């Protein structure tokens, strides 16, 4: 096994999947020697006239491509390069006059990544590849964890400096309680971190440059851990939990080599993470928004045009709870794509299924998965859109999912995760269009009425201004009155006021708005005004 692993085009394509879109391909897997900006090359006299001088170079072409002719000119100019990274939108200029198998290959930059980020990542990738041990299949942390586990017989987790699990690999079905909780929650439990801090073990790990060992205790197996460092900076740790049958000395040797192989992979992971989220959000947003040009987004997210798709819309999730939610949603659907899209804080989940499932089946699967895994806390609310079988129909599913979760919150939160009444212990509350049909129609009507203009909400705005000035409750009174279908006794009970007080409030509403709940047209306008006002305020 050699001590270096030169970067080749095939590996560059794997490592940049998600932010560079391959436009052409070639069967020649050349070695990448350097990463260059086109402006730097143009400033170097004589280089552009010599294809041999560009051998192995990946060139970042920042100039705008103005058509098929301009694209061919650029390819001819850098004909000796290994690959060209071109501007977003270049794929629109590929046509009959473009040879898709000729070198150099073309990679299109995602609009979610800047040129400087591409340059830094590619150079980091090149430097990391040349310095890493040539371990088999260690292009990502999950593959590395699997290799270590296979070589040692130990169960492996690779964690970041905050003890969050980035990758793991188990051998066999037996997992101790600590490891099970770590994997389920996506991080070492807080109580365990406190215990390791108090004993001084974590401090030793952070300062050590070699393997640190912790003997078995009771039902907890022995553990070995090694820190991953780059120029003194702590990047993360590799943990190995192992039974008595594993030789600690042999495990130490493997972990030392694994740490060397892991550093460049970890660096690339940490370097990519800030803009990889933007890329996925951008790509998912274009699909959910019904973009007519789905090709780049589908390629970036590795999604086929035809398949079994559905969407979930989660109501706003607290930042400290979102990582755990994401972890378990990916456990429920391995190919789920998640990102925040829209202006209301919805967490979008695009589910790509191997076999078709109905919206009701998807809801039940998500509820059962999350209720088994999530600790009791504030409930999660989500809506499920209709299942579709084409990527260009996903936008329709997403629109429905957003309406459903909004209806679930507006009507309510009284809708259960399954069917029947809500239990106070429910952690996960999901719904389909069928579950909240009446509330959903109400929101659709409200959105349709918003096009009428500001006049539709004028009565509600007058009441809101009155309440803000005098700390009143007229607008809320109207909401409850309509929610109880004009039942004065029930409305008074919910508002905790006497029926005479309710009548007085309704009189004040009539004085301020000029509309009466006793008049059919006035009542209808008031109800529409509140409906649209609340929708706009959402």
On the question of pLDDT at 104 being above 70, the answer is yes
Whether the pLDDT of residue 327 is over 90: the answer is no
- For residue range 440-481, list pLDDT tens digits in order: 888 888 888 888 888 999 999 999 999 999 989 999 999 999
Residue 418 is predicted with a pLDDT of 42
pLDDT of residue 117: 80
Is the pLDDT confidence value at 297 over 90? no
More confident residue, 112 or 29: 29
Query: How sure is the predictor about 4, in pLDDT bands with cuts at 50, 70 and 90?
Result: very low
Q: Tell me how far CA of residue 513 lies from CA of 460, 469, 485, 504, 518, in angstroms.
A: 8, 16, 20, 14, 13
Taking residues 288-296, report their average pLDDT. Answer: 85
* Global confidence as pTM: 0.57
Q: Which residue has the tokens 């069967």?
A: 27
Architecture of domain 141-271: 2-Layer Sandwich (3.30)
CATH number of 452-537: 1.10.10.2840
Helix (H), strand (E), coil (C) string for 325-390: HHHHHHHHCCCCEEEECCCCCCEEEEEEECCCCCHHHHHHHHHHHHHHHCCCCCCEEEEECCCEEE
3-state secondary structure of 90: helix
Tokens of 510: 């009539």
Burial class (CB within 10 angstroms; exposed 0-12, middle 13-18, buried 19+) of 532: buried
Q: H/E element holding 12?
A: helix 9-15
Strand partners, 388: 309
Give residue-wise pLDDT tens across range 176-210: 667 666 666 666 777 888 888 888 888 898 889 89
In CATH terms, is domain 303-415+424-437 a member of 1.10.3470?
no
Q: Label residue 372 by pLDDT band (50, 70, 90).
A: confident
Q: Cα separation of 181 and 205, whole Å?
A: 21
pLDDT for 350 beyond 70: yes
pLDDT tens digits, one per residue of 219-267: 778 889 999 987 677 888 999 988 888 898 999 999 988 888 788 778 7
pLDDT digits (tens, 9 = 90+) for 125-169: 776 665 444 455 456 788 888 888 888 888 888 988 888 888 888
Return the pLDDT at 312. 95
Coil, strand or helix at 98: coil
- Around Cβ 226, how many Cβ atoms within 10 Å? 23
């Amino acid at each position: 096994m050699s001590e270096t692993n030169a970067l080749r085009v095939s590996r560059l394509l794997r490592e940049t999947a998600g932010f560079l879109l391959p436009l052409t391909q070639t069967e020649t897997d050349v070695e990448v020697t350097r990463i260059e900006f086109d402006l730097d090359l143009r400033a170097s006299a004589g280089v552009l006239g010599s294809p041999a001088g560009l051998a192995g170079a990946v060139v970042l072409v920042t100039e705008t491509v103005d058509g098929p002719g301009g694209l061919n000119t650029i390819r001819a100019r850098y004909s000796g390069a290994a690959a060209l990274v071109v501007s977003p939108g270049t794929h629109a200029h590929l046509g009959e006059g473009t040879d898709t198998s000729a070198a150099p290959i073309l990679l299109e930059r995602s609009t979610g990544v800047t040129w400087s980020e591409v340059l830094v990542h590619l150079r980091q990738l090149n430097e990391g590849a040349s310095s890493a041990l040539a371990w088999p299949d260690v292009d990502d942390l999950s593959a590395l964890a699997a290799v270590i586990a296979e070589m040692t017989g130990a169960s492996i987790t690779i964690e970041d400096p905050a003890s969050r699990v980035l990758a793991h690999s188990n051998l066999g079905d037996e997992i101790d309680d600590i490891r099970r909780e770590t994997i389920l929650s996506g991080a070492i439990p807080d109580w365990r971190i406190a215990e390791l801090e108090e004993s001084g073990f974590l401090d030793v790990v952070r300062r050590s440059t070699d393997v640190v060992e912790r003997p078995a205790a009771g039902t907890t197996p022995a553990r070995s851990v090694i820190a991953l460092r780059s120029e003194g900076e702590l990047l993360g740790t590799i943990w190995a939990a192992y039974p008595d049958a594993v030789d600690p000395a042999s495990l130490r040797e493997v972990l030392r080599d694994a740490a060397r192989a892991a550093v460049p992979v970890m660096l690339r992971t940490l370097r990519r993470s800030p803009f990889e989220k933007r890329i996925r959000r951008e790509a998912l947003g274009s699909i959910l928004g019904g973009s007519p040009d789905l090709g780049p987004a589908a390629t970036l997210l590795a999604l086929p045009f035809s398949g079994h798709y559905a969407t979930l819309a989660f109501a706003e999730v607290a930042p400290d709870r979102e990582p755990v939610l994401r972890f378990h949603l990916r456990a429920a659907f391995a190919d789920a794509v998640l990102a925040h899209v829209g202006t209301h804080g919805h967490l979008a989940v695009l589910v790509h299924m191997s076999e078709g499932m109905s919206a009701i089946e998807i809801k039940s699967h998500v509820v059962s998965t999350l209720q088994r895994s999530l600790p009791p806390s504030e409930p999660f609310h989500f809506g499920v859109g209709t299942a579709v079988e084409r990527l260009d129909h996903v936008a329709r599913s997403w629109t429905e999912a957003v309406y459903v979760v909004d209806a679930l919150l507006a009507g309510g939160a009284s809708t259960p995760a399954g069917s029947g009444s809500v239990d106070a212990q429910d952690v996960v509350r999901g719904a389909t269009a069928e579950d909240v049909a009446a509330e959903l129609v109400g929101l659709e009507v409200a959105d349709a009425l918003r096009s009428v203009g500001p006049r539709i909400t004028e009565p509600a705005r007058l009441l809101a201004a009155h309440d803000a000035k005098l700390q009143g409750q007229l607008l809320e009174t109207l909401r409850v009155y309509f929610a109880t279908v004009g039942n004065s006794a029930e409305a008074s009970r919910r508002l905790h006021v006497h029926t005479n007080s309710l009548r007085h409030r309704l009189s004040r509403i009539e004085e301020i708005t000029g509309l009466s709940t006793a008049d059919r047209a006035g009542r209808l306008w008031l109800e529409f005004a509140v409906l649209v006002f609340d929708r706009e305020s959402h």
